[in-house]
Chains A and B, each alone.
Chain A
């Protein structure tokens, strides 16, 4: 049987090594293959990931926290005090063998089972592959860790919102999709009317909205987790929330928060500290300091430039009134797809909805065309990615392909965020592809002169769209362009099979 162990004690000069020796002796005496990582004062040489992957069981003989414990997630584990390992190593070896025997067979196969939510911590393991893994690969592994944890939020929230729209349309007619967004969630909590279809629709819509509120924090939190292990989670989540809510920096800001929080936490974890402080480091000092620093960077450093960008973009759009409408459509399309819920997207969307309020009851105003272009351009990113996962499934990870299924519905419902998991995992190839498709769609809709007087809803507000056929044609064309662009860009990379394989591991 293959065993691995970690030994560690407060001083790190005696028990750590005695326990390691005792376990190695006892393991070999019992005919097992055992490798021990001594996390002592003389420094620790991490066990190679493949050795951990191949291990049938893990022994922690420790009096202090195991460093990078996530590497061993999902393995049958025996944890004892370091002294116990010295006094009764054979008994502990026996215990570990028992654990391995009684554990489900899948665990010993090396790769975490796909259904295991902690399977997604594989990247924590994979991100430790510093030997051989270049910076680019590691960055991608960190991003994919965040993405794999974010996808369930996107799927749950997006589908609930889409279902809310559908029910609203059935229950309240063609204005239903607009009405559902106007139901106050407090009404649902205080006076829910079970006979009201619209309220049921609003219930789904708001729960979906709340799930969406965790999208960027989860992305940031788990990017930081991949970088720094558990200490990264708090600064990452808090930084992500600030990005999404306070400074409106969207998922790109969330990625930044994940990296900032992760590296601050990692830096703190690696600080040498007086022994007296050590017990309170993981529970008090590291969360406190890392969260303070990450939050401060997000608010004080990112806040002002982002506001400036938003203000300038808004000014620019307002000045374009009267200019070439097709060009305006192209620019709005580019903006919608750039950061999907981030500052640039918000400027374009707000520009459209503000116009909607100003237009009153006119039926052919430019503002209605702008709204139509913005919505169409916001639908093609998820649709294009969904199409790409069908056209060239091999270019995507399992998690991405599953997200692709949901992305059809999210795109059809004008939930642009459905494309974020793809964009966050591979921004440099995905975002330009999304922008290209959305720009074409936005320009075409403006050119065709389709109109829309609802701020949201996607295909569910079809009855409110004027000039529906060219409108749909523009969406189809943009979708196809995005799908082809992204498969071409990703395809040029897939020659490197090893990286794809690694990504598959990351997402598994």
Chain B
């Protein structure tokens, strides 16, 4: 089973004008890693979910996500945006952006891993650690440790 996240899927300290841009940047990394087959199709699916209700959450979190036929393996993309990017949360822009991609069919095991990850996002300590990460591999280690625990 391939890892949920790899260093190539982590963007530390990017500046973007809007959520569409950061989502596209992350999605391109996913495509380059062979985890997304059709970039535009995938982005359309993410946008469709985002239109249902913005995925911004209090505490500077944005979690664009979808289940899509264009995803081959459950994947987490992560971007840190120090100046923030609006994800529609009431308390302001998001500095931590998680792009969660799940295949349409989705094996039970994979979905359970994503579920565990989602639960971790609630924890302030997890967020703080992500804010403090120095390099992409730190983020990967953090996620792997938390999701495995």
Decide: B63 and A42 in contact? CB cutoff 8 A: no
B43-64: which have CB < 8 Å to A?
A: 48-49, 52-53, 55, 57-58, 63
> Taking the complex as formed, is A109 at the interface, i.e. its CB lies under 8 A from any CB of chain B?
no
A-chain residues with CB within 8 Å of residue B57 when the two chains form the complex = 18, 83, 86-87
Q: How far is the CA of A20 from the CA of B119 in the complex (A)?
A: 7
User: Closest chain A residue to B63 by CB distance?
Assistant: A14
B-chain residues with CB within 8 Å of residue A43 when the two chains form the complex = 108, 111
Assuming A13-B100, A87-B90, is B121 touching A18 (CB within 8 A)?
A: yes
User: Closest chain A residue to B112 by CB distance?
Assistant: A42
> Taking the complex as formed, is A10 at the interface, i.e. its CB lies under 8 A from any CB of chain B?
yes
Decide: B58 and A11 in contact? CB cutoff 8 A: no
A-chain residues with CB within 8 Å of residue B106 when the two chains form the complex = 41
B-chain residues with CB within 8 Å of residue A345 when the two chains form the complex = none
> Taking the complex as formed, is B79 at the interface, i.e. its CB lies under 8 A from any CB of chain A?
no
> Taking the complex as formed, is A38 at the interface, i.e. its CB lies under 8 A from any CB of chain B?
yes
Decide: B119 and A83 in contact? CB cutoff 8 A: no
User: Closest chain A residue to B74 by CB distance?
Assistant: A13
> Taking the complex as formed, is A152 at the interface, i.e. its CB lies under 8 A from any CB of chain B?
no
B-chain residues with CB within 8 Å of residue A13 when the two chains form the complex = 65, 67, 100, 102, 111, 114-115, 118
What is the number of residues of chain B that contact chain A, defined by CB distance less than 8 Å?
A: 27
Decide: A14 and B58 in contact? CB cutoff 8 A: no
Q: How far is the CA of A16 from the CA of B119 in the complex (A)?
A: 9
User: Closest chain A residue to B102 by CB distance?
Assistant: A13
> Taking the complex as formed, is A95 at the interface, i.e. its CB lies under 8 A from any CB of chain B?
no
Decide: B118 and A14 in contact? CB cutoff 8 A: yes
Q: Which among B48, B66, B122 is the interface contact of A25 at CB below 8 angstroms?
A: B122
Decide: A21 and B111 in contact? CB cutoff 8 A: no
Decide: A10 and B115 in contact? CB cutoff 8 A: no
Among B55, B108, B116, B119, the most chain A Cβ lie within 10 Å of the Cβ of B119
Decide: B100 and A42 in contact? CB cutoff 8 A: no
> Taking the complex as formed, is A17 at the interface, i.e. its CB lies under 8 A from any CB of chain B?
yes
B46 smallest CB distance to A (angstroms): 10
B-chain residues with CB within 8 Å of residue A41 when the two chains form the complex = 67, 102, 106, 111, 114
How many residue pairs bridge A and B at CB < 8 Å? 74
Q: Which among B53, B119, B120 is the interface contact of A63 at CB below 8 angstroms?
A: B53
Q: How far is the CA of A56 from the CA of B106 in the complex (A)?
A: 36
Q: Which among A12, A21, A40, A63 is the interface contact of B122 at CB below 8 angstroms?
A: A21
B58 smallest CB distance to A (angstroms): 4
Decide: B108 and A42 in contact? CB cutoff 8 A: yes
Decide: A42 and B52 in contact? CB cutoff 8 A: no
Decide: B122 and A86 in contact? CB cutoff 8 A: yes
B102-143: which have CB < 8 Å to A?
A: 102, 106, 108, 111-112, 114-116, 118-123
> Taking the complex as formed, is A156 at the interface, i.e. its CB lies under 8 A from any CB of chain B?
no
Q: How far is the CA of A42 from the CA of B112 in the complex (A)?
A: 6
Decide: A14 and B100 in contact? CB cutoff 8 A: yes
Q: How far is the CA of A10 from the CA of B102 in the complex (A)?
A: 14
A130-160: which have CB < 8 Å to B?
A: none
A2-18: which have CB < 8 Å to B?
A: 10-18
User: Closest chain B residue to A40 by CB distance?
Assistant: B115
User: Closest chain A residue to B119 by CB distance?
Assistant: A21
Q: How far is the CA of A83 from the CA of B55 in the complex (A)?
A: 9
Q: Which among B90, B102, B122 is the interface contact of A18 at CB below 8 angstroms?
A: B122
Extra A-B contacts (10), CB below 8 Å, given A21-B119, A21-B122, A87-B58: A12-B67, A13-B65, A15-B63, A18-B121, A21-B120, A41-B67, A41-B102, A63-B53, A86-B57, A275-B48
Sample of 28 A–B contacts (CB below 8 Å): A10-B52, A11-B67, A12-B67, A13-B65, A15-B63, A15-B118, A16-B118, A17-B119, A18-B57, A18-B63, A18-B118, A18-B122, A20-B119, A21-B119, A21-B120, A22-B122, A40-B111, A41-B67, A41-B114, A42-B111, A42-B112, A42-B114, A43-B111, A63-B53, A86-B57, A87-B57, A87-B58, A87-B90
Which 10 interchain pairs have the tightest Cβ spacing? A17-B118, A42-B111, A21-B119, A21-B122, A17-B115, A87-B58, A14-B118, A42-B115, A42-B112, A17-B119
**Chain B interface residues (CB < 8 Å from chain A):** 48-49, 52-53, 55, 57-58, 63, 65-67, 90, 100, 102, 106, 108, 111-112, 114-116, 118-123
